[in-house]
Chain A
């Protein structure tokens, strides 16, 4: 590599874009992939992040590390993806079906559990069961079945621990909508786990 900075990797606080691929590409890819479960899209986001970084190079003041700065750019791009999913959600046929399904867990009048949807103990209630690899695979499968907006809301809350207000602003949903989504997502995850585990 022809950069003059190659000798002091990570020590200087000026941006060295010619080393970005070597230094940060894998990290950013993993970061994107854990938040958006789509390899193709994760790759595109890494590329977009580097290009946006190049455009804003003069604005990089070395106040944070190069990696933190690039990660912040990537994070905004991921939120854009989430936001697009949120606005497309209304038109998504899977969403209304999923909503219907969670309503179907309860009796229409009294709102108590229908007998065949009642939660039964299945052994994840104890902490030591959480280590189970098998169980985790099922959980991952069940997560992938959630409508994309539900998954976005879930991921933002549990992965980055974003405050509820921030998530609502980012995704342009109302707080009451947020709680309805969290509730429905959990109901359908739990049902999926029970079906596939016992």
Chain B
């Protein structure tokens, strides 16, 4: 089997290239390999869509203005304040 026929069946490599392309860079050769693979592999096309959707979702989730309710409790804050005052008054 020559290299390009091999890639046509190699879903493990194809999914790796999908990840690498999405947030980094792949070489021209890798782009060609991926194209050949995706042309014949419906399952990896689904993977590609889902992978990008997961990235978008994670970004949305992480970049959302943080929940205002997340606060340190007062007891811990008092301890912190005490600690700082102590250091400053040394």
Contact = CB atoms under 8 A, between A and B. Distances in A.
Contact of B53 (A50, A125, A180): A125
B28 interface: no
A164 interface: yes
A158 B80 contact: no
Main secondary structure of the interface of B (DSSP, over half): helix
Interface in A180-198: 180, 182-183, 186-187, 189-190, 193
Interface string A105-132: 1100011110000111110110101100
Nearest to B56: A130
> Main secondary structure on chain A at its contact with chain B?
helix
Contact of B51 (A113, A130, A190): A190
B54 A189 contact: yes
Interface string A48-91: 00110010000000000000000000000000000000000000
B9 A110 contact: yes
Interface stretch (A6-14, A25-33, A92-100): A25-33
B84 A164 contact: no
